[in-house]
Structure 1
Amino acid sequence: MIEIRKYEGQADLVPAVYAVLTDVYERSPWTESQVAADMAGADTTYYLAYEGQELVGFLAVQTVLDEMEILQIAVKADFQRLGIASQLMAAVMDWDGDIFLEVRESNSAAQALYTRQHFTKIGKRKDYYRHPVEDAVLMKREWNGR
């Protein structure tokens, strides 16, 4: 059974989060020091997915005023397609503001997940990603409480 926990700085989980990134990507998009700096950020929140004691995925978000940006979402390869990414996304879907994210143009599975979570495409960023170079699709979930 998967358990979602909000990171509260209670342990140094940087190596475990970095291990998820290196499992998911051929080349991690962030270095271990970038993960550490991000996890220490005052405006950044991490939601962690555990199978028993093993960290199998995470969601990192940054909030500024009434906007949230999804910075990273990653689930270890052996645990993908089990609904864990949806469980992680559910942790922030009650946010009372707009939520933004970027996703690789070729990542149709992630785009489908975000569409199910009521995100819509709002634009592109040319050559946004590296290794390999690829455009990013910008997506937004608008808050309807206004």
Structure 2
Amino acid sequence: MFSICENNNAEEIYRLELEIFGNSAYTLKQIEDILTMPDMYKIISVKNEENVIVGYVIVFNNSDSLEIMKIGVNPNYRKGGFGTILINEMKKSRMQIFLEVRESNVVAREFYKKNGFKETGVRKNYYRDTKESAIIMVY
């Protein structure tokens, strides 16, 4: 059993963000700021049966399309379908969805392909920390 939520607790999202992304996590202030701009950004989360957030997606809406800024699932809940639940929730908008993913992140690229995304381009040296290229994917 799970539930979808758009009214999120910034601190709960931040704790999960730190656990998943470590040094590349958004700060608590960035997450709080995102939550103050509901016309531009949304944080959609999925909660387990204990009402604990186990996954979330941070979405930028530029009114023509949606961009996945971050998507993460608690490591203990991976392979449980929660990432697909979040993607399916976004698909309900019937808007084009795009994202960038590290070229080396084969697991994520395969996950997105399984959910209907196509690789459409490359952004060279996109990631500041490693100078790694990003693969652009579109649904």
Query: Equivalent residue of 1:25, what SS?
Result: helix
Q: What are structure 2's unaligned runs of at least 5 residues?
A: none
Structure 1 residue 2 displacement after superposition: 2.5
- Count of residues paired in the alignment: 137
Identity of aligned residues (%): 27
Moved more, 26-35 or 124-133: 124-133
Find the counterpart in structure 2 of residue 144 from structure 1. none
**More strand per residue: 1 or 2?**
1
Aligned residue identity for 1:60: I
TM-score, length-scaled by structure 1: 0.85
Find the counterpart in structure 1 of residue 59 from structure 2. 61
Q: What are structure 1's unaligned runs of at least 5 residues?
A: 142-146
Structure 1 residue 83 displacement after superposition: 0.9
> Equivalents in 1 of 2:63, 2:83: separation in Å?
25
Find the counterpart in structure 1 of residue 42 from structure 2. 45
Find the counterpart in structure 2 of residue 3 from structure 1. 3
Query: Equivalent residue of 1:59, what SS?
Result: strand
> Equivalents in 1 of 2:135, 2:32: separation in Å?
26
Aligned partner (choices 9, 25, 50) of residue 21 of structure 2: 25
> What is the CA deviation profile of residues 16-49 of structure 1, one whole-angstrom value per residue up to 9, with x for unaligned ones?
1111111112323311111111222221111111
Change (3 A) 1:114 1:131: same
TM-score, length-scaled by structure 2: 0.88
Structure 1 residue 78 displacement after superposition: 0.9
> Equivalents in 2 of 1:60, 1:132: separation in Å?
23
> Equivalents in 1 of 2:128, 2:16: separation in Å?
19
Query: Equivalent residue of 1:37, what SS?
Result: helix
> Equivalents in 2 of 1:81, 1:131: separation in Å?
27
Find the counterpart in structure 1 of residue 91 from structure 2. 93
Find the counterpart in structure 2 of residue 79 from structure 1. 77
Aligned residue identity for 1:40: T
> Equivalents in 1 of 2:95, 2:13: separation in Å?
27
Runs of 4+ displaced beyond 4 Å: none
Cα RMSD (Å): 1.6
**Structure-to-structure mapping, 1:122-141, within 5 angstroms:** 122-141=120-139
